[in-house]
Amino acid sequence: MKLIVLSDNNALNESLQSEHGLSVYVETSNCKCLLDTGASDIFIQNAAKMHVDLKSIDYVIISHGHADHIGGLSAFLNINSKAKIILSRHILNQTYYSKRLGLRKISVDLDVAHFADRFIFIDDEDFKEYDMHVFKVNELVYPLPKANCNLFKDAGNGLEPDNFNHELIITFGTEDLFVFTGCCHNGLLNILKSIPLNARQNIRYVMGGFHLLDSSVHQSYESEAEILALSQILHSHFPLTDFITGHCTGEHAYNTMKKVLEYRLRHFFTGFTLEI
């Protein structure tokens, strides 16, 4: 299995572009997938520079409906004529907003009708193909990220807090699992608890944003003590797991987690590659 980050907030070098968005190319022995499409067509430009053929993609999986993860989908559909697009049906009937730095819309308009035969919508059922599994979070026993307080939706009844019913989790593998978390709006621990595991399976890699924003003079999020407590649970409950994060994980949050997880925590960026 091979992974390449095509779009992230930071880049490996000046030849690659960065943005507030996330897109990851995944290649297995069975298929080629794109996990999210960033905020724009930057992932397409970076893919060309890194010799990733996006025309050969078999599946695009959208982790949730926010523009920094689905904004490049229309551009992708213009260059790829075969990939199936897997996403939550809620993305079509909800509009998303952020009040961080002022209230603004963070949805995109999708031309679903023109590509109707290519969309696979996830409601309550799971999607399984080869060793790929796409499903919703079904365990909410741990606190949600505090930065969720900035995020809202309109499902036809006016503005209300986003409950992230549009967030999907993706895993690859049969025994040692790779988990893609998108932005972890439902909380990293809730996501990990929701992964169905049999006796032979182990979560080997967890990759994505963890939605642990750094506090500022304008807004307070998780304290250092809360991040340390989260890290201790990850350290003790998932001793064989490596965590790879970026995008919506703040620098201070990352450095705090690093104190506990040490070598089992890494930072990704545009151009980051991983072979498993």
Q: What is the pLDDT of residue 124?
A: 80
Q: Tell me how many helices (H) and strands (E) the chain has.
A: 7, 18
Report whether 96 contacts 105 (CB < 8 A): yes
- How deeply is 1 buried, as exposed, middle or buried, from its count of CB atoms within 10 A (0-12, 13-18, 19+)? middle
For the cut 80, the answer to whether the pLDDT of residue 147 exceeds it is: yes
Task: Indicate the pLDDT class of residue 270, thresholds 50, 70 and 90.
Answer: very high
* Phi and psi at residue 228, to the nearest 5°: -65, -40
Residue 129, token pair as written in the block? 């193909």
**208 Rama class: left (phi>0) / alpha (psi -120 to 50) / beta:** left
Instruction: Report which of 64, 20, 259 is spatially closest to residue 180, judged by C-alpha positions.
Output: 64
Q: Residue 188: give the domain boundaries.
A: 2-275
Per-residue pLDDT tens digits for 6-25: 999 999 899 999 999 999 99
Residue 218 and residue 220: Cα distance in Å, rounded?
Answer: 7
Per-residue pLDDT tens digits for 85-99: 999 999 998 999 999
State pTM to two decimals.
Answer: 0.96
Q: What is the pLDDT of residue 217?
A: 74
Q: What is the pLDDT of residue 49?
A: 97
Q: What is the pLDDT of residue 110?
A: 86
The CATH number covering residue 224 comes to 3.60.15.10
Domain count across the chain: 1
Distance of alpha carbon 93 from the chain centroid: 20
Q: How many residues does the chain have?
A: 276
User: Cβ of 74: how many Cβ atoms within 10 Å?
Assistant: 15
Distance of alpha carbon 44 from the chain centroid: 18
Q: How far is CA 114 from CA 74, 117, 273, in A?
A: 11, 8, 34
